[in-house]
Structure 1
Amino acid sequence: MHLTRSTWTEMDEVDTDLALLPVGSTEQHGPHAPLGTDTLNAEAVADAAAERYEAPVVVAPAVPVAVAEEHRAFTGTLWTSESTFRAYVRDIVGSLAAHGWDRVVLVNGHGGNVSALGEVCGRIVRHDDAYAVPFTWFDEVDAEVNMGHGGPLETALLQHANPETVREDRLEEAAEGGSDRWGDWQGRVNLAFDSHEFTENGVVGDPREGSAELGAELLDESAAALVDLLDAVAARDPGPRAT
């Protein structure tokens, strides 16, 4: 059940304590993929899992702006501080829990959100009347190509789930102006804080290695993992809250 597509009376009749909260970002993904790539992909995985799950699941509207200041040099990128982001996500989970949907999976599509989501889920579980866990879709797939940024995996999932958003005629440009690795490394230390320091057009990896067929496989694999996680969250006893 999608909150944004339903009436309040319809949602009042939903018998579940499970909810999915897609979390994305609005940030550059090279010249070929939209600024909303991370949000679109998180939504696609959440929708696919909700359709597969054997019991009702509430799907909340996506969080579209997140921790993305590392892409600030590229026009259109939006960002918030980690503290604001964590507080906002916590408030949304609290709102869901107030209606009885108090077991929430945060379906993440942006690597820059990972640490903040882990921290806020711990705070929610310890101190709030809710249970929340983070799920990052690209951590759950087994692909022969690297994740990158605007690279083959993100591009492939778009090509399958939202094909109209990919500028296919710019894939060559994206690959030629990109980088083959994330960062500027000295040993194990990344000297670069922002993406423009190591990639001319924002791309890391070769998006030409993506395809709609690969995207279908990625969606199937990540949605299956999310369904398994929903089962685990439904059965979980989170234990006592901190005082």
Structure 2
Amino acid sequence: MEKIFWSDYTTNEIKNIISEEDPLVIITVGATEQHGTHLPLNTDTDLGFNIAQRIAKNSPVKTLILPPVWAGFSPHHMDFSGTITLKQKTLFNVVYDIIESIIQHGISKIIILNSHGGNMSLLKTVVDEVGINHNISPILVTYWHLISSQINAIRKSEMGGMGHACELETSLKMVFSPQDVQEDLMEDVMIPENEFFSVDMFAKNKIGIYQPFKNWSESGQIGAPTLASVETGEKILENIIEQFTELIKLEWVDEDVNEKNN
């Protein structure tokens, strides 16, 4: 079986792969933070890293996965035991330095696969700075954004049901790491939306706000995990992988074909 993890190769093997196959490299950026009473602290990192593996196995180009960045920007979860947060400048430097390292080795095809909402704004700044300084633009994908057009046909919950340790994350955990899901401890916490803002992952919010999660929920959980299922998780995953495959084709396969034809 072909190895997909960057760190499984020797230095000479990586050098040859870069020179001969021009691989795509995926950097997963997650978090170690509370996910309510029924999911573990590893949820964001676990989901992102598992999704990356499915992408690599289905990718139309040679794809390698770096070790995950397991801590993110999570001060809004620090009222709950176990959460670890980095400062924004620390996370910026970690991700930027990783990208700068692989660029120095000859990598130009880069996806940052984000699996934590608190990282989104900061990682966009990383992409901007890499583009300014290296004339290479990594593609930033927060995985659930790719299926915004498909999610209403998949979800069982109403708006507000996919927030944090919710129907979506619990369903994906049931697929990847069912041993981590404590179904007897699930509870639904639905936060009413208004015309400007909703906590749902797929809300088209008109405003951005900062709110400690303790203010939203005593348990730290938002949404409807009781509606989660393996079937829903598999549908979500299938759509995510389809969208990633199309993205890779559009960005790199079609580009390579056009270059050869010119």
TM-score by length of structure 1 reads: 0.87
Q: How does 1:30-179 map to 2 (within 5 A)?
A: 30-128=36-134, 130-141=136-147, 142-143=150-151, 144=155, 145=157, 146-171=161-186, 174-175=187-188, 179=189
Residue identity (%):
26
Partner of residue 221 from structure 2, selected from 203, 207, 214? 203
Distance 1:36 1:139, change over 3 A: same
Aligned equivalents of 2:119, 2:242: Cα separation in 1: 22
Match of 1:193 in 2: 211
Aligned equivalents of 1:120, 1:236: Cα separation in 2: 24
Deviates more, 1:34-43 or 1:12-21: 12-21
Distance 1:112 1:121, change over 3 A: same
Establish whether residue 223 from structure 1 lines up as the match of residue 241 from structure 2. yes
Deviates more, 1:192-201 or 1:155-164: 192-201
Aligned equivalents of 1:122, 1:77: Cα separation in 2: 28
Distance 1:50 1:98, change over 3 A: same
Aligned-pair Cα RMSD in Å: 2.2
Judge conservation of contact 1:49–1:226 (CA < 8 Å) in 2. yes
Which ranges in structure 2 are unaligned for 5 or more consecutive residues? 198-206, 257-262
Establish whether residue 213 from structure 1 lines up as the match of residue 227 from structure 2. no
Count, aligned residues: 231
Distance 1:131 1:182, change over 3 A: farther
Distance 1:115 1:167, change over 3 A: same
Aligned equivalents of 2:170, 2:229: Cα separation in 1: 8
Aligned equivalents of 2:13, 2:248: Cα separation in 1: 22
Q: 1:12, CA displacement in angstroms?
A: 2.7
Establish whether residue 18 from structure 1 lines up as the match of residue 24 from structure 2. yes
Match of 1:7 in 2: 10
Judge conservation of contact 1:192–1:198 (CA < 8 Å) in 2. no
